[in-house]
Amino acid sequence: MELFSNANDFLLWVRGDAFNIALSIFVIGVIIRVLEIVLLGRKKEYSEPRGSEWGPGLKNIVSRSVADSGTFKRAPFVIVVGYIWHICFFIVLLLFVPHIELIHAMLGIKWPGLASQFIDASTVVAIAAMLGMLWHRLTHPVLKFLSTYEDYLVWLVTFLPLLTGYIAFHRMIAPYPLALGLHILSVELLMIVFPFTKLMHAITLFIARWYTGATMGRKGIES
Amino acid sequence: MNKKTLFELLQQQGITRRGFLKYCTALTSLMALPPAMIPTVAKALESARRPSVIWLSFQECTGCTESLTRSHSPTVEGLIFDYISLDYHHTLQAASGAAAEHAREQAMKDNYGKYLVVVDGSIPLADPGYSTIAGISNLDMLNETVAGAAAVIAVGTCSAYGGLPHAAPNPTGAVSVSSLIKDKPVINVPGCPPIPTVITGVLAHYLTFGSIPELDELGRPKVFYGQSIHDRCYRRPFYDKGLFAETFDDEGAKKGWCLYRLGCKGPMTYNACATLKWNQQTSWPVESGHGCLGCSEPNFWDAGSFYQALSIPDGDYARAAGYAAAAGVAVGAAAGFVHQKTKSTAVAQHSEISVDDFSLNKD
């Protein structure tokens, strides 16, 4: 490597400057996107409210997590595999001890982790789920027609941290600093892409669901 | 070279043939060679002549020499080390001043092309005056001495990778041996300090085969640096089970759980501590309850806190996030303002139309 004299230098850069750059882009991007949405505002509603907004809004954030039967019948694969993927992904992200250490260092909160074989199994399932999703996207004619380069980019930047994490955990690339460096770098790539793509759904879903629930609540419709 | 063979010298010291063969067996397994190689190793060492070794100490703390010389009471390894012909080592030799330098020059002349140069300490390039021996700069002495050497062994992290003197901001412009010496084989034996057995093992390999051992991409002999501390650590099962010590005196620490959360750098460190151990195989850092510092890796001093887990970024990320949040709010507010303006302009320019506007009869 010309840029770095050795794998340790690469890891140092990834854990230092590169992380700061990625974190800055992530924070700036997310704040801009959220402010853009919130500051745009809505037209003032003059009608008499028939119910409250906050309660139904918050309830809707949770209740919309369950797909309605019509949607489920139309796309059972996406919903089942999507669920499996999200659960496994959050197990890996939030319950692997090195990840908890990172969160603790940055946010000051921590919780118990899981033994590595559970993390390992979850990673394998998450990787398999993502491959299944890609296969589905490529073979389903309508989905394929609707897919843009952004969908494939989002898939890739989400897939890479799982793959490199698995490789680093099993030390499949030597030396280890290179494997760990590639894993952290792939996460940094995800952080940079996150605010400007559909990955923002991880944040905007709360806004969107709350807004839908609140609108319904105001109109007195059960959501 | 001394006329007596190594085995003859060991016999003089009261080492039996049985003891010698036991050492050869241990050495063979240490070098990851098949048992069938034991006779070859024994034969080679029996007939080996003492190689002349010139030991150059540059920007160092003498810890590497301490590690080797004060390690333990005479063992076969110790005697092997004694019975290399250490012709120049300015800390250990009795001679000083001109006589000492003369010994070095004489050894170089007598064994030209055959002697080994061992270097501990880094070489300052910012100003030669930072470190001189007998008025000779480290760089000049290295170049002059290495010119007739068969091979160079960089002992300790300072000579292998720059080590502590090389740490930011590196005021002396310290560099490693391998960054200066390109025309001779350089074997890096890093560690702060390195394990004595590893040094004698590298020397024994040279005596046995007359060649340097297979090296990894950082110039370290693979037999000793081929596996990470993490992979050979006896605390590894606790890492796999998710059981970690969180302070140095909690229940986990007392039960010997993994030290990852306390900043152990074992996962990224390649060394033989976990298998060879220290002080006559008594213990090693992780066994004594402290995480690995990663001392046999380049830039270990600049790789963040020794007490911070490896997964934690090591820059000033809180500051970066703070500035980013401020910038995000500013740009987001500006964007919000622009969008609001676009919206109000659109509302202002909105004109009502009726179905008549679409009338085909309209003029």
Over residues B274-302, the pLDDT tens digits come to 988 888 788 999 999 999 999 999 989 98
Same domain, B144 and B289: no
Contact assignment for B240 to A23 by CB distance below 8 Å? no
The residue to which tokens 């009795």 are assigned:
B94
Q: What is the reported pLDDT for B73?
A: 45
Q: Where does residue A33 fall: left (phi above 0), alpha (psi -120 to 50 degrees), or beta otherwise?
A: alpha
Model confidence pLDDT, tens digit, residues A201-213: 999 999 999 999 9
- pLDDT value, residue A1: 41
Residue of B32, B24, B38 lying closest to B221 (CA atoms): B32
In a domain, B348, yes or no: no
pTM: 0.87
**What is d(CA B277, CA B198) in angstroms, rounded to the nearest whole number?**
11
Q: Which of B310, B291, B272 is nearest to A176 (CA)?
A: B310
Indicate the residue among B200, B225, B250 that finishes a domain.
B225
User: Is residue B125 included in any domain, yes or no?
Assistant: yes
Q: ω into residue A177 within 30 of 0, thus cis?
A: no
Domain count, chain B: 2
Q: How far is CA B245 from the centre of its chain?
A: 26
Coil, strand or helix at B292:
coil
Give pLDDT tens digits for A123-168: 999 999 999 999 999 999 999 999 999 999 999 999 999 999 999 9
Within the 178-197 window of chain A, which residues sit less than 8 Å (CB to CB) from chain B?
A: 180
Higher-pLDDT residue of B36 and A127 is: A127
Place of tokens 């080996």: B48
Helix (H) or strand (E) run with residue B174 in it: strand B174-175
Q: B208, B225, B242: which is the final residue of a domain?
A: B225
Closest CA to B166 of B142, B202, B130, B134: B130
B246 versus B73: the higher-pLDDT residue is B246
- The single residue listed with the structure tokens 């793959």 is A163
Which has more pLDDT, A16 or B2? Answer: A16
- The average pLDDT across B42-60 equals 84
Q: Tell me the pLDDT tens digit for each residue of A84-114.
A: 999 999 999 999 999 999 999 999 999 999 9
Q: How close B30 comes to chain A (CA, Å)? A: 21
Instruction: Please give the structure tokens belonging to residue B134.
Output: 């007998």
Q: Are A97 and B261 in contact (CB under 8 A)?
A: yes
Say if residue B72's pLDDT is above 80.
no
Do A177 and B230 make contact, defined as CB atoms within 8 angstroms? no
Within this chain, do residues B158 and B19 fall inside the same structural domain, yes or no? yes
- What percentage of chain A reaches a pLDDT higher than 90? 81
Contacts with A40 from chain B: Cβ below 8 Å:
336, 339-340, 343
B357 is a domain residue: no
How close, in Å, is residue B254 to chain A by CA atoms? 19
Q: Are residues B23 and B123 in the same domain?
A: yes
pLDDT score at A191? 97
Q: In terms of domains, do B279 and B144 share one?
A: no
Task: Assess whether pLDDT exceeds 70 at residue B2.
Answer: no
Average pLDDT, chain B: 87
3-state secondary structure of B139: helix
CATH code at position B298: 4.10.480.10
Task: Decide if A105 and B216 are in contact by the 8 Å CB cutoff.
Answer: no
Identify the band that residue B127 occupies on the pLDDT scale cut at 50, 70 and 90: very high
- Decide if B353 is inside a domain: no
Lowest mean pLDDT among B173-177, B221-225, B287-291: B221-225
Q: Is residue B347 part of a domain?
A: no
If asked whether residues B166 and B283 sit together in one domain, one would say: no
Q: What proportion of chain B, given as a percentage, has pLDDT over 90?
A: 53
Non-local CB neighbours of B36 within 8 Å, separated by 6+ positions: none
Q: Is residue B288 part of a domain?
A: yes
Q: Which of B225, B251, B268 is the last residue of a domain?
A: B225
Q: Distance (Å, rounded) from C-alpha B104 to C-alpha B53? A: 10
Chain A interface disruption, residue of B188, B308, B310, B316, most A CBs within 10 A:
B310
Higher-pLDDT residue of B249, A40: B249
A114 touches chain B (CB under 8 A): yes
Q: Which domain holds residue B182?
A: 6-225
Closest of B111, B49, B39, B122 to residue B80, by C-alpha: B49
Residues B23 and B30: beta-carbon distance below 8 Å: no
DSSP H helical ranges for chain A: 7-15, 17-40, 54-63, 69-74, 76-95, 97-107, 116-139, 141-146, 149-169, 176-193, 201-219
What integer pLDDT is reported at residue B40 of this predicted model?
A: 83
Best-predicted range by mean pLDDT among B7-11, B195-199, B294-298, B304-308? B294-298
- B200: domain CATH number is 3.40.50.700
The domain spans of chain A are 68-219
- Cβ contacts of B329 on chain A, cutoff 8 Å: 31, 35
Measured in whole angstroms, the distance separating CA B292 from the mean position of its chain's CA atoms is 12
Q: What is the mean pLDDT of residues B192-211?
A: 82
Across the interface, do B297 and A36 touch by the CB < 8 Å criterion? no
